[in-house]
Structure 1
Amino acid sequence: MKLILAILSNDDSPAASNALNKNGFQVTKLATTGGFLRAGNTTLIVGCEDEKVQDAINIIGEYSSKRTEIVPSTASYDIGRYASFPVEVQVGGATIFVLNVEQFVKL
């Protein structure tokens, strides 16, 4: 048995979790916050049999697209004050961890 932890954008999580549910996966959603943009993320927790891991990864990948956004930045120092200017960053996609499960108990 495996435990999948998938971190994806709040924008992508409803479609990904619905698709996982429709394909027989049970999903737990956690609200999380990313470090770089301090933006909200969702972490999906999925337990499944070893042979279904790739199916779950494929579904998550299908619904977590990468895209670019323009965000304000305060990285420039200009004559005694910080100058804010927009920066293009890549957002979306998914970071997925697959862990071995030694024991699973459902009460």
Structure 2
Amino acid sequence: MKLIYAIVSDDDSTVVSKQLTKSGFFATKLASTGGFLMSGNTTFMICTDDDKVEEAIDVIKTNSKKRKQMVPSSATYGLGSYTPFPVEVTVGGATIFVTNVERFEKI
């Protein structure tokens, strides 16, 4: 058995959740926040058989889209004053971890 942790943008979480369910996977959703942009994410916990891991990851990949976004940034000029300017960053997609599970029970 494997436990998949998939951190997905909130923008994609509804579609990912629906497609995981449609594909026969049970997932627990946790609200989370990214450290870089401090934006909302959803962390999915999916326990599945070893031979189903790639199928679950494919569902997540297919439904998690990377996109460009302008975010405020700041730079110091002169005497410590800050002037904000936008910076383009890539957001979205998914961060996936797969771990071994010693025991799994649904009670």
- State the SS of the aligned residue for 2:54: helix
- Any gaps of 5 or more consecutive residues in structure 2? none
Give identity over the alignment, percent. 56
The 4+ residue runs of structure 1 with deviation greater than 2 A are none
Residue 11 of structure 1: aligned partner: 11
- The residue type paired with residue 78 of structure 1 is Y
Q: Give deviations 1:53-86, integer Å, cap 9, x for gaps.
A: 0000000000001111001112x01243100000
Q: Give deviations 1:1-32, integer Å, cap 9, x for gaps.
A: 11000001000111001000001000111000
Q: Give the Cα separation in 1 of the matches to 2:16 and 2:105.
A: 25
Residue 55 of structure 1: aligned partner: 55
Q: Give the Cα separation in 2 of the matches to 1:92 and 1:43.
A: 13
Once the two structures are superposed, the pairs formed by residues 62-73 of structure 1 within 5 Å of their partners are: 62-73=62-73
- State the SS of the aligned residue for 1:12: helix
Between the two proteins, the alignment pairs up a number of residues equal to: 106
- TM-score, normalised to structure 2, is 0.96
- State the SS of the aligned residue for 2:28: strand
Q: Give the Cα separation in 2 of the matches to 1:82 and 1:89.
A: 20
- Structure 1 position 106, deviation (Å): 1.5
Q: Give the Cα separation in 2 of the matches to 1:17 and 1:24.
A: 11
- State the SS of the aligned residue for 2:86: strand
- State the SS of the aligned residue for 1:52: helix
